[in-house]
Amino acid sequence: MAKRPILILPDPILRRVAAPVSVVDEEVRRLAKDMLETMYEAPGIGLAAPQVGVSRRIVVCDVAVEEDAEPAPMVLVNPEIVAVSAEVAVYEEGCLSIPEYTEDVERPARVTVRYLDADGAPQEVVAEGLLATCLQHEIDHLDGVLFIDHLSRLKRERITKRFQKQARFA
Ligand code: GNR
Ligand code: NI
Written as one string, the DSSP assignment of 29-90 is HHHHHHHHHHHHHTT-SEEEGGGGT--BSEEEE----STTPPP--EEEEEEEEEEE-SSEEE
**Pocket probe mutation, ligand 1, options 134, 145, 159, max atoms within 8 Å of Cβ:** 134
Averaged pLDDT for residues 140-166: 98
Higher pLDDT pick, 70 / 143: 143
Averaged pLDDT for residues 104-121: 98
Domains and CATH numbers, the chain: 12-169 (3.90.45.10)
The confidence band for 115, taking pLDDT boundaries of 50, 70 and 90, is very high
CA-nearest residue for atom 16, ligand 1, is: 47
CA-nearest residue for atom 7, ligand 1, is: 93
CA of 58, nearest ligand number:
1
Catalytic residue list:
138
Averaged pLDDT for residues 21-48: 98
Q: What percentage of the chain has pLDDT greater than the value 70?
A: 99
Distance 96 CA to ligand 2 centre (A): 5
User: For the segment 56-79, what is each residue's pLDDT rounded down to a tens digit?
Assistant: 999 999 999 888 889 899 999 999
Distance 70 CA to ligand 2 centre (A): 23
Give the pLDDT of residue 66. Answer: 84
Residues with CB under 6 A from ligand 1: 44-48, 51, 91, 93-97, 133-134, 137-138, 141
Note whether 98 and 76 are within 8 A (CB).
no
Contacts of 14 (CB under 8 A, 6+ apart): 7, 50, 51, 97, 141, 144, 146
Distance 104 CA to ligand 2 centre (A): 14
Give the pLDDT of residue 67. Answer: 83
User: For the whole model, what pTM was predicted?
Assistant: 0.97
User: For the segment 94-112, what is each residue's pLDDT rounded down to a tens digit?
Assistant: 999 999 999 999 999 999 9
Give the pLDDT of residue 90. Answer: 98
User: Residue 147's closest CA among 105, 101, 91, 85?
Assistant: 105
Give the pLDDT of residue 1. Answer: 64
